[in-house]
Amino acid sequence: MARELSARPNTVATPDPESERQSLHDHYQQVREFSETLCRPLATEDYVIQPMPDASPTKWHLAHVSWFFETFLLKPFVPDYQSPNPGYAYLFNSYYNAIGDRYPRPQRGHISRPTVEETYRYRAHVDEQVLDLLECAEELDVPRIAPIVTLGLHHEQQHQELILTDLKNMLSRNPLHPVYVEQPRGRAIDVGPHGWMFFPEGIAWIGHEGADFAFDNEEPRHREFVPSFRLATRLVTNAEYLAFMQDGGYARPEFWLSMGWATVQQEGWRAPLYWEDHAGNWFEFTLSGLRPVDSAEPVTHISYFEADAYARWAGGRLPTEAEWEVAASSVPMQGNFVEGGRYHPAPLDLGQTDAGLRQMFGDVWEWTQSSYSAYPGFRTAAGALGEYNGKFMCNQYVLRGGSCATSQTHIRPTYRNFFPPEARWQFSGVRLAQDA
């Protein structure tokens, strides 16, 4: 008989309205200020370029997250609220069909107005209105407002990550290799071979429960049977991925899914995104400019197809998201996050004495072999906010753990990120798994 791997009681505390109001007030200011902190190294010209259809200009991100609060919080809860420009509802809607029409996503870089200065004025207007609402809300309104404010702040943290990844893609296309922020290079180290952690078979509780925030796609909490497996104790490094490349990994179809092999041929992939071959030496574009590839750093900016092909070549496979969650549930949520200001994956910290799983959180999003689909019993919420996650449950794969561009206050073991299998511009990498 399979044993039960984990279970937690579902306890919901009733918050004090006044303390919840103050907590929301402080958290709102902190998150909104951090978005602008990420933009301080930018020149005006950096705000407006859209390097590809999947990315957006920084100016659009700043305006869109403000539109989110305006649309879902201010308009419903502030009587006679007036937007600085009613046209912003069309320009800065992303994909909410229930709200109305929206400007085409691939053409966001065509918009020169509102200017960057006007965009910041729009943010200031929204901030003033939201903070006034939080200060003046009746006690009975706080429980109605709090979930929307909290969702909006986690939504903004997602866009903070996109600001960095989209900026990196934009800057990488400049032959001058511009620097977003200078970072010193560490000394070269040898992280050694990875180990394996064994996990016995059992029935595992998967998904979020409790009163803390989670996105709807992390629920409902449910049980899954997880066969025994092994998980690598660290992420795959650049050196290990380079060995795959040198062994003809991009030229050997036996390692690739059919769609992956077709994509490799069509796109001409021969290395991870942002790698450049200079006279036989590999360099990597980072947010600190062009640098020689550091063999000890986790490989990043690889697609699901590349992660899967590498795993086959290495004699392993990608973990399922249930396996990853079982393994991560007992690991501290510590790592290389955006707050550290490195904005790039870091080599394994050899000074840590813990011999268990390392680099589970931060550094790179870890591809899993799991298709992005609904958990048993999942129901889409009513209204426009129900479009947040559910309608994307098709042709995507799940990634876990966060990255060096993710906020530490945004991530948790149950967090489900998702991207199509060809996506490479996010900080995505790979950890090996094996059947036990």
SS3 of 30-47: HHHHHHHHHHCCCCHHHH
Inter-helix orientation angle 116-136/142-172, to 10°:
160
Identify the pLDDT of residue 6.
36
| Structure tokens given for 98 | 């229930």
Q: How many CA atoms lie within 13 A of 158 on its CB side?
A: 16
Q: What is the pLDDT along the chain (436 residues), one digit of tens a residue?
A: 333 343 333 334 456 777 888 889 999 999 999 999 999 999 999 999 999 999 999 999 999 999 999 999 999 999 999 999 999 999 999 989 889 999 999 999 999 999 999 999 999 999 999 999 998 877 667 888 999 999 999 999 999 999 999 999 999 999 999 999 998 887 778 899 999 999 999 999 999 999 899 999 999 999 999 999 999 999 999 999 999 999 999 999 999 999 999 999 999 999 999 999 999 999 999 999 999 999 999 999 999 999 999 999 999 999 999 999 999 999 999 999 999 999 999 999 877 656 699 999 999 999 999 999 999 999 888 777 776 777 889 999 999 999 999 999 999 999 999 999 999 999 999 999 999 9
Identify the pLDDT of residue 13.
47
| Structure tokens given for 284 | 């990597």
Identify the pLDDT of residue 184.
84
Identify the pLDDT of residue 354.
64
Name the strand (E) or helix (H) holding 29: helix 17-39
List own/partner pairs for 118-125 with CB under 8 A and 24 or more apart: 119/47, 119/59, 119/62, 119/63, 120/36, 120/62, 121/84, 122/63, 122/66, 122/84, 122/85, 122/88, 123/32, 123/36, 123/62, 123/63, 123/66, 125/84
d(Cα 322, Cα 207) in Å, to the nearest integer? 9
Is the pTM for the entire model greater than 0.75? yes
What lies within 8 Å, CB to CB, of 428 at 6+ separation is: 300, 301, 302, 303, 304, 307, 364, 365, 366, 367, 399, 403, 419
Cα dihedral sign, 393-427-368-409? negative
Identify the pLDDT of residue 9.
32
Q: Which domains, from first to last, does the chain contain?
A: 17-172 (1.20.120), 196-435 (3.90.1580.10)
